[in-house]
Each structure stands twice: as structure tokens, then as C-alpha cells.
């Protein structure tokens, strides 16, 4: 049995301001409306009948909604926080062995890569699976198209029929070294995709990383299925924290003797920065690439992404301009790798823009901050059909709710009411309350908060359908 395991959750800091901690890179929408996560899942289901997703607990409902939109489902392992790829893959292998036995073949795929060439992908997977069943730990090496310095490299060794034994892994090189790799041949880009049986990868962990294996096995035993999350497994936080934060490359692949590589001839990109995102679009006569409503006057070689409003570019060259409702990025194309430094500065300032968009996704829907000032905040709230917020209370703020469209069932203290469009209600500070959409259409409301403190942490939950504290 072949089981694709999708690793989803990397923040993608070089793709800020679209990618943020609360809306990471796998959920970025491309021009066709699909997210990178959706594209990965659809690709995986074309080679297998089941999916396993390892992601952060905070991304579970967003992941489930993305798959449901494509008529897909998956088993989920939910991490309480990030611990790199080795613990994630080890726990996935333990879960797969329990579910399908040690002969189950795992195909590990990052959720945020873009691959084109369905037949070439299927061919590479078939070759990798054959090697995996012969006892190899298999990685996929992408045939390099140029001397890229942003990727690690794999040096091919002796031929193995369906692939090659790995002679060495090479770190991201300087330009001169990358030029030499391309000229010499026999070097592949390290894609970060893997294939192996559950039994063989677990045996490798037992031998090469016994301490990590022991801690992960204890974590696996302590992580029962959570009925509140439709059978998804919430990984036990205490045991998971004890697992070493280490990548699968360092933990196993650079040490094991039975490592093979399959050269992959499909088009591949990890969309690591805005220059890679820009390359996906079709250029105009001046080598510009535009998304959204853009006016260009004598600009050349620019990428402009306008999400929410008109952007005009006048007489500029080789710029990346990414405009979102609450943040604007302007960067030279040759400096886009440094965008991660912006995120680091935002974190240092404790600025919400590193973490959240103006529109924030929740299990029940979304809210958008429309305006905020001293002692007031205005939001647009959209609640999905049949969904409800938690039964909750705020100490420091009161709320006015106005229904714009749809129907709202509201619990306010001991009172329950139904509100229709153009009707409103008031929630006093200290009152237990709950908002529910009992209708078949999305509920859209305007919420006006007022009070001395309006932070999102001023919330006491008494009951919640989504397992939140």
C-alpha cells in the first residue's frame, strides 16, 4: 500500500506579506484559485487512494476545508508546535505501521511545492516505490536546469536500476560551486521528497537515532484519537516537546548506508521566495508580471501582486511589489531572499503583521478587522453554514452585532434570539454569549467592540465545538 504523507505548516517567511504564521505558505492561492496544499493533495491522490497529513493543530480546520473543496479527505496528525521533519515523519511512520502494517510504503511530500508533469511524477514515484520495497530509503533529486544556489544538491553514485545510490549530500553552494556541479553533471537538486516503507524507516530510526525513536514512540502511545476532531490524532504536547528538533536529512539520510535517489524529470519549484512566485506568471512585452488590478506606465521587469486595491507602477524596474490589505512589500528582485529579515523585525516588535492578516481564518469562518482606534474595533464576521462560535465571555469589552446577510442564532445570558438582516443586538461585558449560523447560507455580520482592552486574548470559553481551550 502506498500512503502519501503531506507535511504542511512551514511559515514561508520569504513570502511575507501573503504568507504569515497564521496563514502559512501551503495555503497561498495561486492564479488558478488553488492553494499549494490543494495541488499537493490532488497530485498525491492520483498515485494513491489515501492521504495522511501532518500539520499544526492550528491549521487543521483550514486544511480540512481546503481538501473538502476538492472532494478529498485525509487522516491527520496534529502537532502542538513545530519540531522539524524527523519527528513528524517518525510519528507518521508509527501511525502508518499501526494502520497498514510495516510494509506500507510512505511517500513524503512537502505541502508547499509546485510540480508540473503528471506522468513524469507518477513515473518517479513508481521507481522510488520499487527501490523502497528493496530496502532503500529513497529521496527524489530534481534534474537541475541552471546553477541554483538556493537548493541543496545530491551527488549520484552507482546505478541501482531504478535510480542511484547517493554518494553525498551537498549544502547550498556558492555560485562558483553550483556552476561546477552543473558542468560536471551527476548532481541533482535536493527536493525534500522521500519514499520508504514504514518498517525500513522505523528500523533506521531505531539504529541511528535511538533516543529520538524512544521519545517519539512514547509520544505516539500518549496521543489517542481526539473524537472532537473527527478522528484526527492530536500529538501529545509534553512528549512531543522532548523530541529533538532535527530534519530527516541530518537525522537519517546523511548517515544511513541504504540511501538511494531517483532523478525526477518533472518541473519542480519549492516557491522559496517572490522571484519564484513571479516566474509562474506570463510576462508582458516589458518582462512584467502582474496579478490583480495593476496600471503600468513605463515599468520593466517588475512583479506586482495587487490583492485588494488598485496598484500603479510608474517608471520602475526589477521590483517586487506585493500589496495586501494591511501590509505592502516593495523589494528589489535581487533582494527578495531578505524578506525573512522583515518578518524577524516584526517578531522583535511583537507586531501582529508577522502572524495574522487583516482577515483571520477560524474553524467557524473568518473575521476581518475593518477599523481600529482607541477603545473601539470594527470587524466583519462571516460564519459558515451550520457553524457556531464558542460559548464565551469577555471581561473588558462589550459588543454590538448587526446582521448584514443570513440568519444568526444568538445566546446572550439566559436569552436566545434569532436575528435577520438589518437587525442587531448588544452583548454586555461579562455576559456569556454564543453566535451560531442555523441557516444554509453564510452569515455576515458587523461587530463593533468597545472597551478598555480589545485584545483577542480577552476571551473565556465555556464550551467549544472545535476542542479549543
Checking phi first, is residue 234 left (phi over 0); if not, alpha (psi -120 to 50) or beta? Answer: beta
Q: What is the predicted pLDDT for the residue at 5?
A: 97
Tell me the mean pLDDT in the region 207-225: 92
**What CATH number labels 359-463?**
2.60.120.10
Residue 227 has pLDDT above 50, yes or no: no
Q: What is the predicted pLDDT for the residue at 469?
A: 67
Confidence category of residue 466, pLDDT binned at 50, 70, 90? confident
If one counts every other C-beta atom within 10 angstroms of the C-beta of residue 388, the result is 22
**Which is nearest to 111 in space by CA: 193, 48, 188, 31?**
193
Q: Does the 2-269 domain belong in CATH 3.90.1300.10? A: no
Rounded Cα distance, 424 and 170, in Å: 63
Q: What is the predicted pLDDT for the residue at 203?
A: 97
**Which is nearest to 198 in space by CA: 263, 122, 108, 125?**
108
Sheet holding 433-436, edge to edge: 415-419, 408-412, 433-436, 391-393, 460-463
Please tell me the least confidently modeled range out of 207-216, 225-234, 458-467. 225-234
Q: What is the pLDDT of residues 163-206, one digit of tens each?
A: 999 999 999 899 999 999 999 999 999 999 999 999 999 999 99
Residue 229 has pLDDT above 60, yes or no: no
| Cα Rg, the chain, nearest whole Å | 24
Residue 422 has pLDDT above 90, yes or no: yes
- The three three-digit cell numbers of residue 420, written as one number: 435577520
Rounded Cα distance, 231 and 392, in Å: 25
Rounded Cα distance, 112 and 38, in Å: 9
Which helix H or strand E contains 261, and what residues bound it?
Answer: strand 259-264
- The three three-digit cell numbers of residue 25, written as one number: 505558505
Q: What is the predicted pLDDT for the residue at 329?
A: 97
Q: What is the pLDDT of residues 142-152, one digit of tens each?
A: 999 899 888 89
Confidence category of residue 39, pLDDT binned at 50, 70, 90? very high
* Phi, psi at 364, each rounded to 5°: -90, -10
Q: Where are the domains of the chain?
A: 2-269, 274-339, 359-463
Strand 311-314 with 294-297, pairing: parallel
- The three three-digit cell numbers of residue 29, written as one number: 492561492
For 212, half-sphere exposure in the C-beta direction (CA atoms, 13 angstrom radius) is 27
Can you give the pTM of this predicted structure? 0.90
Cα 11 from chain centroid? 7
Confidence category of residue 228, pLDDT binned at 50, 70, 90? very low
Amino acid at each position: 500500500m502506498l500512503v502519501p504523507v503531506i507535511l504542511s505548516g512551514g511559515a514561508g517567511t520569504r513570502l511575507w506579506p501573503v504568507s504569515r504564521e497564521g496563514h502559512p505558505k501551503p495555503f497561498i492561492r495561486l492564479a488558478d484559485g488553488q492553494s499549494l496544499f490543494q495541488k499537493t493533495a490532488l497530485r498525491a491522490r492520483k498515485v494513491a487512494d489515501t492521504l495522511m497529513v501532518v500539520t499544526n493543530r492550528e491549521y487543521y480546520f483550514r486544511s480540512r476545508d481546503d481538501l473538502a473543496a476538492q472532494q478529498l479527505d485525509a487522516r491527520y496528525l496534529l502537532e502542538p508546535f513545530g519540531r522539524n521533519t524527523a519527528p513528524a515523519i517518525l510519528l507518521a511512520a508509527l501511525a502508518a505501521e499501526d494502520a497498514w502494517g510495516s510494509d506500507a510504503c510512505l511517500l513524503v511530500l512537502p505541502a508547499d511545492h509546485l510540480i508540473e508533469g503528471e506522468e513524469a511524477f507518477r513515473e518517479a514515484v513508481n521507481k522510488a516505490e520499487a527501490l523502497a520495497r528493496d530496502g532503500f530509503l529513497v529521496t527524489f533529486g530534481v534534474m537541475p536546469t541552471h546553477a541554483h544556489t538556493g537548493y541543496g544538491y545530491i551527488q549520484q553514485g552507482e546505478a541501482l536500476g531504478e535510480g542511484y545510490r547517493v554518494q553525498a549530500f551537498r549544502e547550498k553552494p556558492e555560485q562558483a560551486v553550483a556552476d561546477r556541479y552543473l558542468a560536471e553533471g551527476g548532481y541533482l537538486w535536493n527536493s525534500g521528497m522521500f519514499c520508504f516503507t514504514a518498517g525500513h524507516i522505523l528500523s533506521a530510526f531505531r539504529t541511528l537515532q535511538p533516543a529520538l525513536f524512544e521519545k517519539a514512540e512514547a509520544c505516539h502511545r500518549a496521543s489517542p484519537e481526539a473524537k472532537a476532531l473527527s478522528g484526527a490524532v492530536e500529538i501529545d504536547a509534553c512528549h512531543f516537546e522532548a523530541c529533538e528538533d532535527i530534519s530527516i536529512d541530518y537525522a537519517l539520510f546523511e548517515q544511513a548506508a541504504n540511501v538511494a535517489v531517483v532523478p525526477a524529470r518533472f518541473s519542480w519549484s519549492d516557491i522559496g521566495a517572490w522571484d519564484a512566485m513571479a516566474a509562474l506568471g506570463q510576462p508582458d512585452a516589458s518582462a512584467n508580471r502582474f496579478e490583480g488590478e495593476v496600471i503600468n506606465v513605463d515599468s520593466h521587469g517588475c512583479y506586482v501582486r495587487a490583492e485588494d486595491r488598485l496598484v500603479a507602477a510608474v517608471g520602475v524596474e526589477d521590483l517586487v511589489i506585493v500589496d495586501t490589505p494591511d501590509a505592502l512589500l516593495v523589494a528589489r528582485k535581487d533582494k527578495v531572499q531578505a524578506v525573512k529579515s522583515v518578518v524577524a523585525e516584526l517578531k522583535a516588535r511583537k507586531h501582529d503583521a508577522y502572524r495574522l492578516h487583516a482577515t483571520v481564518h477560524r474553524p467557524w469562518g473568518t473575521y476581518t478587522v475593518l477599523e481600529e482606534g482607541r477603545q473601539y474595533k470594527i470587524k466583519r464576521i462571516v460564519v459558515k453554514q451550520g457553524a457556531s462560535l464558542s460559548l464565551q465571555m469577555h471581561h473588558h469589552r462589550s459588543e454590538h452585532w448587526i446582521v448584514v446577510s443570513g440568519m444568526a442564532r444568538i445566546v446572550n445570558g439566559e436569552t436566545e434570539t434569532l436575528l435577520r438582516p438589518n437587525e442587531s443586538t448588544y452583548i454586555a461585558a461579562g455576559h456569556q454569549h454564543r453566535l451560531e449560523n442555523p441557516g444554509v447560507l453564510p452569515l455576515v455580520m458587523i461587530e463593533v467592540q468597545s472597551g478598555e482592552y480589545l485584545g483577542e486574548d480577552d476571551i473565556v470559553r465555556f464550551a467549544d465545538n472545535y476542542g479549543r481551550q
